[in-house]
Amino acid sequence: MKRNKERRSNAANTIEEKTPQQKTANDLVDVKDIKDIFLYTKTGYIIAFLILGNINIDLLSEEELETLTQRQAMSFEGDKDDFDYFTLPSQVNLDPTKEYLKSKHQETEDLGKRKGLSLMLREVTYLSTGGENFEHQHYIKIWKKIGSNLKDTQKELTIRANEFKERYVETGIPCEILKENEIIKMCNLFGNPQQAPYVGNINFYETITQIR
């Protein structure tokens, strides 16, 4: 009887296993759910992401840059857990800029301003049509294994995410914790960087790509 049960169990597992043609995109990634500021994985982890803003170091003196670097390095001394830093290319939507320049060009009668606006509009058009309107977005990924109490894990990860945010903001670097919609857009950058900036409100459950 025991062998028969094992055979039926093995047979059931074989039947449930999907062929490559039957698998969806969601079967191929380790994402179970995205909610609030968290991404939940199928392997039992909870992940939070932060996005870093830009800072123009060319405006800083060597002394100011060294001080900033030291402050930033010292802020990590108490953090012994792992984290990932990565960048993703993202296409910038220049359509609003083009519309703004066009409207200003039509409104002004000053020949000098019109010429300047025409040059700016030409440059923006060149960037958008030449495929050079990309910028690199900088992210930080932190995670924690889900323990016996999910709320405790969420609380601990939220505290660490806020600590990361504060250590960057205190040194003058813009930093924000990604929320649900922004996390989905970030995930979309991995496979579709050209369309991600144009995506508005996203329903996660309605945008799962199917591989047939």
Q: Name the more confident of 106 and 91.
A: 106
Q: What is the pLDDT of residues 92-119, one digit of tens each?
A: 777 788 888 888 888 888 888 888 888 8
The answer on pLDDT for 35 being more than 90 is: yes
Separation of alpha carbons 205 and 178, rounded Å? 19
Separation of alpha carbons 172 and 167, rounded Å? 9
Residues in the chain: 212
Predicted confidence at residue 165, as pLDDT, reads 94
pTM to 2 decimal places: 0.67
CATH of segment(s) 22-90+136-205: 3.30.1460
Predicted confidence at residue 10, as pLDDT, reads 53
Domain spans of the chain, in order of start: 22-90+136-205, 93-132
- Percentage of residues of the chain with pLDDT beyond 90: 28
Q: Determine contact, residues 105/118, Cβ cutoff 8 Å.
A: yes
Which phi and psi angles does 23 have, rounded to 5°?
-75, 145
Predicted confidence at residue 139, as pLDDT, reads 94
Separation of alpha carbons 121 and 131, rounded Å? 16
Partners of 139 in beta bridges? 51, 86
Q: What is the pLDDT of residues 125-182, one digit of tens each?
A: 777 676 666 677 899 999 999 989 999 999 999 999 999 999 999 888 899 999 999 9
Q: Which whole number is the average pLDDT over 70-87?
A: 86
Q: How confident is the model at residue 187 (pLDDT cuts 50, 70, 90)?
A: confident
Which token pair is 61? 């003196």
- Percentage of residues of the chain with pLDDT beyond 70: 73
Predicted confidence at residue 198, as pLDDT, reads 46
The answer on pLDDT for 124 being more than 60 is: yes
